[in-house]
Structure 1
Amino acid sequence: MLIKNIAVSLPSKLVTNEEVIEMIRSHSVGFDGEIDRSLRTIKTLLDRSGLVTRRWCGSHESPIDHVAMATRKALSESYLRPEHIELLIFVGIGRGFLEPGNSHMMASALGFVNAECFDVVDACMSWTRAMSLADSLFKSGQYRNALIVNAEFNMLAGGPLYPANFALKNHAQIEYTLPSFTIGEAATATLVVPNEPDNFEFVFRGKPAAADFCTIPIHGYEGYCHPTERVGRNGDMRFTSYGHELHKNSEEITEIFGKLSVPKSEIDVVFTHASSKAAWHGYGVKAGVEDKMFHIYPETGNLVSASIPAALAMARDSGRLKRGDRAACWVGSAGMSFNVSSFRF
């Protein structure tokens, strides 16, 4: 499989850590405790993670606009047009529908009239899972091209984060709410073709025992699991994430990097899930690849499933990633699941 083209569309509203702190202050009416102390803690942790700004949609923007821009960019350097796309996969958390799949609605809206469609929902691993599936489908000879798109716009009013998670009740809530304040927004589109069938290597590992560290439960979730005290701490359809526990239980991240068959010396650039620059730099030091890492987290925040494709697109646009370079993608996700993959761009 070969990435024919990749594109990202970022919204226009730039939001700093200081602005997020003020949003939390204004929404945390009736806070039980010393609000200034809690806000100082949040600001310190955001700064230490390496986060400076994130992008959110302004009032004039919508997710479908950014998906349209990203898909148009992805197709612009090829002869392919929307009606030529044979497979469209929508990935990630940001979505407008539980039924039908968002892929069908996107295909209808954007003119992908001949595409077969399905969704992949696997938290921040969604794009990587879809890439692995597309690679396997190409090897079976079913498709001549595929487009993988996402629309991670989770800060929209009434969504899983805002404003509910910005209305803190007490200091203890920071433990399972802090990652909410790192989220940015983006849409990406990745055009892939079945050229070079042995180009991609994927290594996955799962850790389902840690499934309750990061959740967005829907109403009635209790009948689909064995509930724990962690699930749903912020309520149904609200993001609950124990960020410290996630990173503390991620020893598989560095272990899995050693499973790649390609030597580290041959890797030109490493792209990571954008959950924390500080944490991923630490993983990079342990794996011996810290000097090869390309971080977007300081300027975009956590883009959820768009983190890796956005980083690829931004690195390509900046000249950091060039055709023929050997790239590695490195992800740790809720679930928990871990991946490292490698390919020639």
Structure 2
Amino acid sequence: MLIKNVAASLPSRTVTNEEVVDMIRFHSTGFEGDINRAMRTVKTLLDRSGLVNRRWCHSHESPIDHVAMATRKALSETYLRPEHIELFIFVGIGRGFLEPGNSHMMASTLGFKNAECFDVVDACMSWTRAMSITDSLFKSGQYRNAMIVNAEFNMLNGGPLYPANFVLKNQAQLEYTLPSFTIGEAATATLIVANEPDNFSFAFQGKPEASDLCTIPIPGYEGFCHPTERIGANGDMRFTSFGHELHKKSDEITEVLSKLPIPKNEIDIVFTHASSKAAWHGYGVRAGIDDKIYHIYPETGNLVSASIPAAISLAKDSGRLNRGDRVLCWVGSAGMSFNASSFRF
């Protein structure tokens, strides 16, 4: 499998940590306790994570427009056109439909009229999981090309984050709500072709006992699991994430690297899930690859399943990533699941 091109489309609105704190203060009119202390805590923790800005949509921007821009850019440097694409996969959390798959609706809207379609929903691991699935499908000979897209626009009114998660009731709520304030938005499109079948290596590791640490439950979820007090702490259809505990319970992030048969000295650049620059720098130090990590989190925030493809796109456009470079992708995700994968770009 070979990545033919990757493109990202970021919204035009830049939002600072200070603006986010002001929004939380504005919405938290019923806060019980010292609101000034709570806001200082939020600002300090956001700054310590390495976050400076995140990108959100203005009112005139829509997710489908950004997906259209990303797919057009991904195809623009190739002979392929939408009607040539054989497989169209939509990945991630941001979505407009539970049925049919978002892939069908977007393929129809954007002119991918001959593509077979399906969705992959695996939290922040969704893009990586889809890449692994596509690699296997290519090896089976079923398809010659594929387009993998996401539309992580979760700050839209009525979405899983805003404004509900910006209404703080007390200081204790920060334990499972703070990650909400790190989220950015983006659409990405990854064009892959069935060349070089041995190019990609994938290593996965799971930790399902920690599945309740990061959730967006839908109404009636109780019948599909053994409920715990952590699931849905912010309510149904709302993002709940015990961010500190997630990072604390992530020893598998470094363990999964040992499953990948790629010597560290061959790696040219590392792309991580953009959940925290400080945390991933720490993991990188432990693994001895901190100097190779390409961080986008400070200027984009957490782009959820778009983190890796957006980083690849930005690194390519800036000249930091070049054809032939050995790439390592490194992800820790809700679930929990962990991945290290590598390929030649």
Same fold (TM over 0.5): yes
Q: TM-score, normalised on structure 2?
A: 1.00
Q: SS where residue 172 of structure 2 aligns?
A: helix
Distance 1:217 1:295 in 2: 30
Q: SS where residue 127 of structure 1 aligns?
A: helix
Q: Residue in 1 aligned with 2:178?
A: 178
Distance 1:30 1:332 in 2: 35
Q: Residue in 2 aligned with 1:158?
A: 158
Q: Residue in 2 aligned with 1:51?
A: 51
- Give the letter for the 2:229 counterpart: E
Superposition map of 1:201-240 within 5 A:
201-240=201-240
Distance 2:179 2:96 in 1: 22
Question: Does structure 1 residue 200 correspond to structure 2 residue 200?
Answer: yes
- Give the letter for the 2:32 counterpart: D
Q: Residue in 2 aligned with 1:42?
A: 42
Once the two structures are TM-superposed, the CA of residue 258 in structure 1 deviates from its matched residue by 1.9
Question: Does structure 1 residue 295 correspond to structure 2 residue 295?
Answer: yes
Superposition map of 1:103-142 within 5 A:
103-142=103-142
Q: Residue in 1 aligned with 2:75?
A: 75
Q: Deviations over 1:253-305 (max 9, x none)?
A: 01111221110000000000000000000000000000111000000000000
Q: Show structure 2 runs of 5+ residues with no match.
A: none
Q: Show structure 1 runs of 5+ residues with no match.
A: none
Q: Residue in 2 aligned with 1:23?
A: 23
Q: SS where residue 15 of structure 2 aligns?
A: strand
Once the two structures are TM-superposed, the CA of residue 200 in structure 1 deviates from its matched residue by 0.1
Q: Deviations over 1:64-119 (max 9, x none)?
A: 00000000000001111000000000000000000000000000100000000000
Distance 2:29 2:99 in 1: 36
Distance 1:113 1:140 in 2: 23
The percent of aligned pairs where both chains have the same amino acid is 82
- Give the letter for the 1:301 counterpart: G
Question: Does structure 1 residue 66 correspond to structure 2 residue 47?
Answer: no
Distance 2:219 2:60 in 1: 31
Distance 2:252 2:216 in 1: 23
Distance 2:77 2:134 in 1: 21
Distance 2:44 2:161 in 1: 20
Distance 1:184 1:269 in 2: 23
- Give the letter for the 1:60 counterpart: H
Distance 2:161 2:2 in 1: 35
The alignment of Structure 1 onto Structure 2 pairs a total of residues equal to: 345
Q: Deviations over 1:26-70 (max 9, x none)?
A: 000110000000000010000000000000000110000000000
Once the two structures are TM-superposed, the CA of residue 159 in structure 1 deviates from its matched residue by 0.3
Q: Residue in 2 aligned with 1:339?
A: 339
Superposition map of 1:235-254 within 5 A:
235-254=235-254
